[in-house]
Structure 1
Amino acid sequence: MSTVSVSGLGSGGKVTPARVLAMFPGQGSQRAAMAHHLLREHPQTARPIFAEAEEALGLPLIELCVTGGPDTLTRTEVAQPAIVTTSIATYSVLVANGFRPDVVAGHSLGEFSALVAAGALAFADALTLVRRRGQLMGEVADRIPGSMVAIVGIPAGDVERICVNVAAATGGIVEVAGLNAPTQTVISGSRAAVAAAAREARQAGADRTVPLDVGAPFHCSLMLSIAEEFSDELAAVTFSDPSFPVLSSVTAGVVEDGEHARRLLRCQLAGPVRWTELLCTAQWFAIDYYLEVGPGRVLSGFVDRSGANATVRSTSDARRLAAALRNLSVPVASHRKAVRK
C-alpha cells in the first residue's frame, strides 16, 4: 500500500495509507509545451528520459514537447512516442520522490506506459513499438479517411445500436471504440459513417458530439489490416511479468503475465477501450487515490464522472505535479522496480 498524504482522506493533512492507481493517458492528451515543466523543474530526472528517447527514435522530442505546435503533435507517428516519453518522464519524477503505485493502467496508448512502469516492457522497446504503431495507424488513415467522435449524454447501449443501424444502412464502418464514462462513448470508422452516426446520436438526445483530435480511426475494424504486421513487431520484443498489477483497457481485467501483455497490445488495435469497466475493476483493489501520470487531465475527468468516491489528481503542469509531490511520503523500500531496463 502506498503512503500518500491525501487531504480528502483523513484530516489536517494527515499522512494516510492509500490504495493508488496510476493512470497513463493515450493519444488526444498531447498539448503544446507538455514537457516544459518537467525539463525546467526536474531536469536531472526528466532530461535523461528524453535523451534516451531521442537516441532510440531519432526524433527531436525535447523540441517537439517543449516548443512544438499542435499541428506537429497531432501527427500520430509523433504524438504517440511524445506522449509515452512525457508520461514516463513524469512517472520517473514521482518515483524519484518515493512514489510506488499499487496498480497501474493505461488508456489505449497509455497501456504501453503502464507496462513500462510495471517493469513488463523496457522503455526503449516501448518507444520502438509505439512509433511503429503510430506509423501503421497513419498508413490506414492515408488509405481510408476516417474519424473518431465522442458521443456525450446518452448510454453506451444506445450508441451501439445507432452504430449498427448506420452501418447497415450506409454500408460504411462505424463502431464503438471507447467506453470512457457512463454517458461518454467514442465511435470510430469511415468518415461519412461516423458523421451519420453522430447526427443520429444528436437526434436521439445526445448533449453533444465532439470530434477527436486524432490522426486515424483507432479501435475499430479498419485497424485489422495492420494487426499482423504489428504482431511481428511485438514478437521481436521481450515482455516480462509485471511487478505489480496492471489493468488492461482491452479487457478491463488484470494482465496475467508478459505473454498476456503482448497479446493484449495486438488486440487493442481494433478493439474498444473499456475504461468504464476498468474503473469498476479498480474498485476490487479498493483504490481510493487516482493519479493521472502524464499530459492532460482527460482520465481524471473520466474518474470524476464515474462516481468513484476517491481523490483524483493529475500531473499535467508544474502546479499539479508539485501538489502531487507534496502529497507523497516516501514508502518503505519494497520491491519497487526501476522504470527502465
Structure 2
Amino acid sequence: MFAAAAAALDGQDPRGLFRNGAGATEANWVAQILCCTQALAACAVLGDLIEGPLTIAGYSVGELAAWGCAGVLSVEATLRLARRRAVEMDRATGPGFGLAFVRGLRRTFVDALCARFDAEVSIINPGEAYVLGGERQSLEALCEQARLGGASRVGLLPVHVPSHTSRLAPASVEFQAALDAERLGFIRPDTELLSGIDGSRVTDLHAGTRKLAAQVSRTILWSDCMSSCIEAGSTVFLELGPGRGLADIIVGAHPEVQARSLDEFRTLAGVRSWVRKALEK
C-alpha cells in the first residue's frame, strides 16, 4: 500500500512526508493522496474488527477513500484517482480562491451572504455549520459580516481551492472520465457505502461514480450522510483521519453514539480495544 502511495507521489514515501510536517503536504495533490493513504491503511489493519453491518461514508476526498475501503476500487486505483482529482481541481481554478467555515447562523442568512459575496455553500454539516467556497478576499469580507450577524464560529480554512462549488464543474467532467476508465469491484457484503451529495446508499456503482464525480463541484450534504448512518442503526463511529473533526461533529449532533478518531490513539492496540468495547455496549 505504501509502495502504491509512493508511486502516486512521484517516489516520495508517504510516511516521510507526514514526518516532515505541514510544509511538505501543502500541495493539493499531495494532501489528497495522503488523506486517502491514511484511510486505506487504517481500513487494512483494522477491518477485521468488524463482524456485521458496516456503513462507510467519506468527507470530501474521503469519499474516494471510502470507495477503496468498501472494496469497489483497488488501492492503486484509489490513489491514482486521488491525484487526478486534485490535478483537475487545481486546473479548473486559479489563485486567490479558498474555503471558509461559518457556524451558528440560519441557512437563509448564509445563503444571503453567499449571494452578496459571490460564494457558494460547499459543505453542510450538522448543527448549522457550513463550509463556503469562493474568492478568498470575498470570503474574508463574508466572514466579517457573519461575525456581525452573530455567527458562533467563523474563519478561513487553509485550503486554496473552492471545493464542491460550481466553479469546479470542468473538474467533475474530467474526473468522471478518469472514473470511467477504472475497473470497479463490488461492495463488500454487509457494507453500505454512502454518497456525499445526498446521503443515499450506493446500490448502482456506475450511477454512484456519477455522484462521486459530481461532488467535486456540488454541495456535500454531510448532515444527511450522518442521518443516514443513524437511520441504518450505526452506534459506533471511527474516524480514520487525519484529524478528529468528524468525530466531534457526529457526537455534537447525536450525543447518544460513541465516536472517536484514529488520531486520538497512540497505538493500534488502543484503537482495537476501544472498538471492541464500544461494540459490546
What is the TM-score with the length of structure 1 in the denominator?
A: 0.75
Matches within 5 A, 1:278-293: 278-293=225-240
Match of 2:129 among 184, 200, 203: 184
Structure 1's unaligned 5+ residue stretches are: 1-48, 168-172, 330-341
- Verify: 1:194 aligned to 2:139, yes or no: yes
**Larger relative helix fraction:** 2
Match of 2:120 among 163, 175, 179: 175
- Verify: 1:108 aligned to 2:108, yes or no: no
Match of 1:129 among 66, 72, 81: 81
| Distance of 1:93 and 1:155 partners within structure 2 | 41
Match of 1:218 in 2: 163
Match of 2:112 among 161, 165, 190: 161
Classify the secondary structure of the residue corresponding to 1:209.
strand
The alpha-carbon deviation at position 176 of structure 1 amounts to 0.5
Contact 1:74 1:215 in 2 (8 A): no
Contact 1:279 1:303 in 2 (8 A): yes
Match of 1:118 among 59, 64, 70: 70
Match of 1:297 in 2: 244
Match of 1:323 in 2: 270
**Structure 1 stretch displaced more, 53-62 or 217-226:** 53-62
Residue type at the aligned position of 1:229: E
Classify the secondary structure of the residue corresponding to 2:36.
helix
Matches within 5 A, 1:236-315: 236-243=181-188, 244-315=191-262
Classify the secondary structure of the residue corresponding to 1:176.
strand
* CA 1:311–1:63: 2 relative to 1, 3 Å: closer
Match of 1:86 in 2: 38
Pick the structure with greater CA Rg: 1
| Distance of 1:178 and 1:328 partners within structure 2 | 28
The percent of aligned pairs where both chains have the same amino acid is: 27
Higher relative contact order (CA 8 A, sep 6+): 1
**Cα-to-partner distance string for 1:289-308 (whole Å, 9 max, x where unaligned):** 11111321011011122134
| Distance of 1:132 and 1:76 partners within structure 2 | 11
Residue type at the aligned position of 1:131: R
**Structure 1 stretch displaced more, 77-86 or 224-233:** 224-233
Pairs aligned (count):
275
Residue type at the aligned position of 1:214: V
* CA 1:305–1:157: 2 relative to 1, 3 Å: farther
Residue type at the aligned position of 1:156: R
TM-align CA RMSD: 2.1
Structure 2's unaligned 5+ residue stretches are: 277-281
| Distance of 1:132 and 1:291 partners within structure 2 | 27
Contact 2:122 2:220 in 1 (8 A): yes
* CA 1:234–1:323: 2 relative to 1, 3 Å: same
Match of 1:52 in 2: 4
The alpha-carbon deviation at position 323 of structure 1 amounts to 2.6
- Verify: 1:233 aligned to 2:142, yes or no: no
